[in-house]
Structure 1
């Protein structure tokens, strides 16, 4: 079901699904906003997308009824599961899990800038998106709307601007991080981590988010 679309400059809000025929290219920045941080409990409310051109498309996920499953969003699901489209995320482990759980798809292929940062920026523990954008791109990001009510039927302009900011800089950030991965000879290792993310998300959804199945203990 695709509902109304509204635009505010470079931010376009779509209610229910992406419009037919929208082409965002072969590498799309993706982020999500939810009612909480437990994918099996908390509702997916918003999916943000950007092709890296300075604009963002936001899809508000509409439930079929209060507390019910989301209405079908075939265009969004097609893009997220398209093997020809790379999904660029920050902390992809969570976003992949909530998308796979809610939409019933496999989200791949994926690149995660947080994993990339942790592989090459071992001199610091600042791997959050705001810190990386500040230190690597000179961009200041506001996090004032991070804990707002994303399940509200009508999102404020401040919420939309915050949500869009989480995808607008991912392409530039990945370009910087990939060059560091290549410099440090860790690009292949990073790719192996990225390729594992759909399975890692499935393990989280099965309850293995804390138990380490690779650990040598009962």
Structure 2
């Protein structure tokens, strides 16, 4: 198990197991895609290693190998909050990283006994592991990314494959698998609405 750090692009797409789902997360200067710069993309195929791709302030975000992987329609992408990650990668990388599965969305559909759907709470309940969130609000645009930041970033993709297995079992148990898939299928459109200016507006509401 190791954390691999790359500047501006992946060295190759062959570093991931063929056909495996790819867990993905991002770190940015803030939470508004388009205003806040994309700084880091984290990836894992569930085998135990994590790969971090860092983009500098002068990056042109060309990253052809990373984009080829993310845009591959035959690769399932696992996220915890797909709405943000898909939007910010669309804004900076120009690709739609789908098809997707969102563990936060799945959690909201089957863990209706709680309003705590953060990754830390989900990993604690379902996998029995405590995650540190100390670096969550750190400066991801700094010239040097600390070891603590790297570990935090890697941990955001380390557990998504195992979470999916657990969540899928519960979705099936509660007969919500098809509903979850419909939500996953809609999330790219939700991300595009965010980027187009409808972030806080429910266009399906009566008002």
Give aligned pairs, total: 205
- In the TM superposition, 1:65-80 aligns within 5 A as 65=58, 70-80=60-70
Question: Counterpart of 2:189 in 1: which secondary structure?
Answer: helix
Distance 1:133 1:21, change over 3 A: closer
Partner of 2:81: 91
Matched, 1:49 2:43: yes
Distance 2:166 2:81 in 1: 17
Partner of 1:4: none
Q: Unpaired segments of 5 or more residues in structure 2?
A: none
* Conservation of the 8 A alpha-carbon contact between 2:33 and 2:91: yes
What is the TM-score when the length of structure 1 is the normalising length? 0.91
Question: Counterpart of 2:14 in 1: which secondary structure?
Answer: coil
TM-aligned CA deviation for residue 22 of structure 1? 2.4
Q: Deviations over 1:118-142 (max 9, x none)?
A: 0000011111000010011001000
Distance 2:15 2:180 in 1: 27
Distance 1:194 1:21, change over 3 A: closer
* Conservation of the 8 A alpha-carbon contact between 2:56 and 2:141: no
Match of 1:24 among 16, 32, 38: 16
Partner of 1:3: none
- In the TM superposition, 1:95-110 aligns within 5 A as 95-110=85-100
* Conservation of the 8 A alpha-carbon contact between 1:62 and 1:71: no
* Conservation of the 8 A alpha-carbon contact between 2:4 and 2:50: yes
TM-aligned CA deviation for residue 20 of structure 1? 2.3
Partner of 1:14: 6
TM-aligned CA deviation for residue 117 of structure 1? 0.3
* Conservation of the 8 A alpha-carbon contact between 2:86 and 2:97: yes
Distance 1:21 1:103, change over 3 A: closer
* Conservation of the 8 A alpha-carbon contact between 1:91 and 1:115: yes
* Conservation of the 8 A alpha-carbon contact between 2:13 and 2:69: no
What is the TM-score when the length of structure 2 is the normalising length? 0.96
Q: Unpaired segments of 5 or more residues in structure 1?
A: 1-8
Where does structure 1 differ by over 3 angstroms across 4 or more consecutive aligned residues? none
Matched, 1:33 2:27: yes
Q: Deviations over 1:97-133 (max 9, x none)?
A: 0001111111210100000000000011111000010
